[in-house]
Amino acid sequence: MTQESISDGRSTPEIVSAAIDGGIDAVQLREKDATARARYELGRRLRELTDAADVPLIVNDRIDLAMAIDADGVHLGQTDLPVSVARTLLGDDAIVGCSAWRVDDARAAEREGADYLGTGAVYGTSSKDVDEDKDGIGPEGVAAVTDAVSIPVVGIGGITPANAAAVVDAGATGVAVISSITAAEDPATATQHLGEVVADA
């Protein structure tokens, strides 16, 4: 997940290129503080990078932006347009993810056609403001969601190589991170290390 504000002066394409070199298996265009035009221009550049590497590009929140840059899919929150709308607009081949930390929301997203769920914040997050009751749900919160659905679940929020294994042990298929890669001194090596931890778990 991209967030140029914590990239230590490096551009998002630089970080994404390094993460691709490190073996990342998906990129999510986030950049919540950027204008729609800036996100569009950035998204076009990231589409070139991810296309060349055969890595899926997912757009956070914005179905229209995903369509505009021909992204592989979209990731929606509970206050965004419904999963069913994204599926109708983007088609059956698109990747549609949904954030869900409550079991009821997770089951609803699966029924509406989500391909995967993002759940957390697992260990707490500083990348956005979240309600106290869902900031730090722990591996046990991940397990509750994974036990309730049959689609893949990705843990997010405060995840590092030191604690990622517990998230996978709880049933998550993988993890999504921002600062563990974006703020790393060597994003390629950080990506590779995190991937190894998840694969081993």
Integer Cα distance of 86 and 63 in angstroms? 6
Asked about 30 being catalytic, the answer comes back as yes
Among candidates 50, 32, 199, 45, which has minimal Cα distance to 125? 32
Catalytic residue (one of 7, 17, 99, 180): 99
| Tokens linked to 15 | 């970080």
Radius of gyration of the chain from its Cα atoms, rounded to whole angstroms:
16
Assess whether 179 carries a catalytic annotation.
Answer: no
CA distance 29 to 61: 9
Out of 10, 32, 111, 128, the active site residue is 128
Q: From CA 170, how far away is CA 118, in angstroms rounded?
A: 14
Q: Catalytic pick from 30, 39, 47, 134?
A: 30
Active site residues: 30, 99, 128
